[in-house]
Amino acid sequence: MADEIGVLIVDDSALMRNLIGKMIESTPGLVIAEKAMNGRFALQKIPRVNPDIIVLDLEMPEMNGIEFLKERKKQGIKIPVVILSSVARRGAEITMEALALGASDFIQKPSGAVSEDIHAVRDTLVDKLLGYGGRYRRMEGKKLLPGDYTKKPEVVHVPIAADNSATRITSALSTILPVSSTGPAKPPTPLRKPARTEIIAIGISTGGPDALRQVFSQLDADLQVPIVVVQHMPPGFTNEFAKSLDRICPLEVKEAEEGDLIKPGRVLIAQGNKHMEVVKKSLAAIVHLSDDPLVSGHRPSADVLFASVAKAYGNRTLGVIMTGMGRDGAANLGAIYQEGGLTIGQDEASAVVYGMPRVAYELGHVMEQVSLDKMASRICSLAKTQR
């Protein structure tokens, strides 16, 4: 396999193994390590082929995906796993169980167990394989083919719209600015000094399920600052994802609903396929959900969330941008910075994909870079500091 990322494909369908294999073979930096028709055969092959990442179906004979993950955990196997399954389409609870058992991420097969249109999720699958597989190789001290697996996208500066709507923000995405290749740009000039933090806003994508589980399990139980989160995830899964986080987090975690109160000690996770904005009313701040067009390629969009908290809370905001492919959130993290809020980004070494936080950093919108293992303590420290 030389210095390429070796992928073990585990699926009971020969057609699916073949189609997934073709996608891997056509991607620079990836190579097929081996194929297996169920979890039992996969476990037998792992010591011999030593893959860097595993693509795992959940519904298989003899040993299914959940059983495989349990045995993987028992054997102390650290190789990352990406679920690619039709179960991930209809069984959010099973998918969250897979994540709780150590799977890193999941992708829905487009049309059932045998999806001849699997090419529809090719880009998403390849991004995750390169991200998780590349990070595992680096952690194991293995060489990696030279190349930029996180793609340097173009980014935009998105001014805060007067009515703060996602539609207005979308219309502001017309001015395209290239990312600086010579280091961070000059940061925006804050309009005022930071005040005491009253809200924490987090934008995160690829690598997010694992990262949020780690961060939320380590938050202080006495953190009295509300948290709002955009995690890119398909509709139908964010409710179960929020429940899984609620079980390990000392704070209340729930999927955001229209009109939900922003209140101390509560974490709200944006619904899949719904933009989430924070709106200040006369008596309280609430959540507003919308079906407005995609922003930065996403709905929910971290750019939409960051723009809304910058307008509603100004210099009382702590903005956090973490692991993820692309640019979402990078531009309007700058809106928080400009309003006088605090901004932090996940560092390159700990990010599965140093895309979103890198773009934000190169735009000059990140005040401080923080590793994943220190993220929870840094968030709590900043949020509790009197200013």
What tens digit of pLDDT does each residue of 291-305 get? 999 998 899 999 999
**Would the pLDDT of 206 be above 50?**
yes
Whether residue 111 is found in the same domain as residue 174: no
pLDDT at 161: 46
Report the CATH number at residue 46.
3.40.50.2300
- Partnered with residue 227 across adjacent β-strands are 200, 267
- Same-domain check for residues 159 and 123: no
Please state, rounded to an integer, the average pLDDT across all residues of the chain: 88
Looking at residue 121, what is its pLDDT? Answer: 84
Q: Are residues 199 and 321 in the same domain?
A: yes
pLDDT above 90: percentage of residues in the chain: 72
- 150, amino acid identity: T
Q: How many helices and strands, by DSSP H and E, does the chain display?
A: 13, 16
The answer, yes or no, to whether residue 112 has pLDDT greater than 90, is: no
Comparing CA positions, the residue from 129, 156, 107 lying closest to residue 52 is 129
| Under 8 Å between Cβ of 9 and 37 | no
Establish if 150 belongs to a structural domain: no
Q: d(Cα 370, Cα 373) in Å, to the nearest integer?
A: 8
86 and 181 fall within a common domain: no
Q: How far is CA 198 from CA 145, 185, 350, 385, in A?
A: 44, 28, 27, 11
Q: What domain range is 244 assigned to? A: 155-384
CB 84 within 8 A of CB 91: no
Asked if residue 104 is part of any domain, the answer here is yes
Q: What is the DSSP string of 41-107?
A: HHHHHHHHH--SEEEE-S--SSS-HHHHHHHHHHHT----EEEEESHHHH-HHHHHHHHHTT--EEE
Q: What values do phi and psi take at 279, rounded to 5?
A: -125, 130
Cβ–Cβ under 8 Å, residues 66 and 150: no
Is 302 found in the same domain as 366?
yes
Domain boundary among 139, 168, 190: 139
* Domain assignment of residue 145, yes or no: no
Percentage of the chain lying above the pLDDT 70 cut: 87
Residue 133 identity (one-letter amino acid): G
> Contact 23/130 with Cβ under 8 angstroms?
no
Q: Are 106 and 74 members of one domain?
A: yes
Model confidence at 256, pLDDT cuts 50, 70, 90, reads: very high
> Both 227 and 110 in a single domain?
no
How many domains in the chain?
Answer: 2
Q: Is residue 357 part of a domain?
A: yes
Cα–Cα dist 22/143, whole Å: 24
pLDDT tens, residue by residue, 173-205: 333 344 445 568 888 888 999 999 999 999 999
Take residue 289 and report the two structure tokens written for it.
């959900």
Say what the pLDDT of residue 164 is: 46
pLDDT tier for residue 10 given thresholds of 50, 70 and 90? very high
- pLDDT, greater one: 170 or 236: 236
147 belongs to a structural domain: no
Q: What's residue 238's pLDDT?
A: 93
Query: Cα dihedral angle (358, 362, 367, 371), rounded to 10 degrees?
Result: 20
Instruction: Tell me how far apart the alpha carbons of residues 267 and 200 are, in angstroms, rounded to a whole number.
Output: 9
Decide if 335 is inside a domain.
yes
What's the pLDDT at 90?
61
Domain boundary among the residues 111, 139, 167 is at 139
Determine the average pLDDT of the residues in 339-365.
95
DSSP string covering 146-213: SS-TT----EE--PPPTT--HHHHHHTTT-EEPPPSSSPPPPPPPSS------EEEEEE-TTHHHHHH
Judge if 59 and 178 occupy the same domain: no
Does residue 122 fall inside a structural domain?
yes
Q: 89 falls in which pLDDT band (50, 70, 90)?
A: low
| Class of residue 174 by CB neighbours under 10 A (exposed 0-12, middle 13-18, buried 19+) | exposed
Tell me whether residue 49 is in a domain: yes
Both 172 and 283 in a single domain?
yes
Residues known to be catalytic: 205, 232, 328
Residues 188 and 315 grouped into a single domain:
yes
Token digits for 4? 């390429």
Last residue of a domain, one of 139, 171, 192: 139
Looking at the structure, do residues 182 and 296 belong to the same domain, yes or no?
Answer: yes
pLDDT at 243 over 80: yes
CATH number of the domain to which 320 belongs: 3.40.50.180
Which neighbouring-strand residues pair with 319?
Answer: 201, 343
Lowest mean pLDDT among 65-79, 109-123, 140-154: 140-154
- How deeply is 187 buried, as exposed, middle or buried, from its count of CB atoms within 10 A (0-12, 13-18, 19+)? middle
CB 359 within 8 A of CB 150: no
My answer on whether 114 and 172 are in the same domain is: no
Strand pairing class (285-290; 275-280):
antiparallel
